[in-house]
Amino acid sequence: MTVGFVGVGRMGAAMVGRLCGAGESVVVFNRSRDRAQAVADRHGARVADTARDAAHSADVVLVSLADDTAVLGTYEGDAGLLAGIRDGAVVCDTSTVDPETMRQLAPRVAARGATLLDTPVSGSVPVVERGELTVMVGGDAGALQRVRPVLQHFATRIFHLGGTGAGATMKLVVNAAVHALNVALSEALVLAEKAGLDRAATYDVIEVSAAGAPYVKYKRAAFLQPDDTSVAFSLDLVAKDQELIDRLAAHVGARMPQGAANRDLVAKAVAAGLGDHDLSALAQFLR
């Protein structure tokens, strides 16, 4: 199958690498053409001029964008994904967005004879590169079966969770826990340091303790050598996620007092100028 890929940021670029490495024919589009060209040159993909062109050539279209505004802007318009989508194609949107956005887009994709699946992922760039992502899927089970071989190039666990929006909902649930863990880990490290314990020794113990989740293991360098580690997920994006989580909680009537406290802390860190820093920079803010 030909795979169209729209949005080649850090995660998207890593997924393109896995797809090309597996021998798939990949066409990429990014709002910054230089970025798309660099990813295409690195992995052997082709570059499309528009999202419409990327979709028009593809049996499967993967989308990886930052937020709801970017998603809606990329689908819509004469040069948008909807204008180019082929009859019978499947769109797999890996973006972390409001579940309602997926529910609004699904019938518009269906009107073009195609199917939309919300397929957000959990993991980091190294996890993509190992082909070990987790994919959370909402939408038609038959369409998922058709695209499963494509998703399996970068994912080992694929969960079908229900109708359209279920995957997007699950991603917000997962991120609510991840962002809470990030706050807890940041606080614990700073507590240890201020009490006279060595940062690295503290991390060693936490990593092998009951709190040693996969997140703790793969964020080790970010917490221990923050100045030497590139940004994997910015606090600005955390704040965006927390707004979506808060909106979902209000919609379904779920009380999240810890979530509210975490959101307030992140907002203060962003206001202090750390929005473009990695989410592990909460420890720096607390210090």
Structure tokens at 134: 């987790």
Q: Residue 155 and residue 132: Cα distance in Å, rounded?
A: 5
Query: Rounded CA gap, 183 and 237, in Å?
Result: 15
Q: Is 171 a catalytic residue?
A: yes
Per-residue tokens: 206: 């936490």
Residue 28 is classified by DSSP as E
From the list 171, 217, 240, 268, the catalytic residue is: 171
Q: Report the alpha-carbon distance of residue 172 to residue 248 in Å, rounded.
A: 8
CA nearest to 58, candidates 68, 45, 73, 67: 45
**Where does residue 165 rank: exposed (0-12), middle (13-18), buried (19+ CB within 10 A)?**
buried
Two structure tokens written together for 62: 């993967």
Burial of 185 (0-12, 13-18, 19+ CB in 10 A): buried
195 phi/psi in degrees, rounded to 5: -90, 5
Backbone angles phi, psi at 276, to 5 degrees: -90, 5
Strand runs (DSSP E) across the chain, as ranges?
A: 2-6, 25-29, 46-47, 60-63, 90-93, 115-118, 121-122, 133-138, 155-162
Instruction: Give the residue numbers annotated as catalytic, written as ranges.
Output: 171
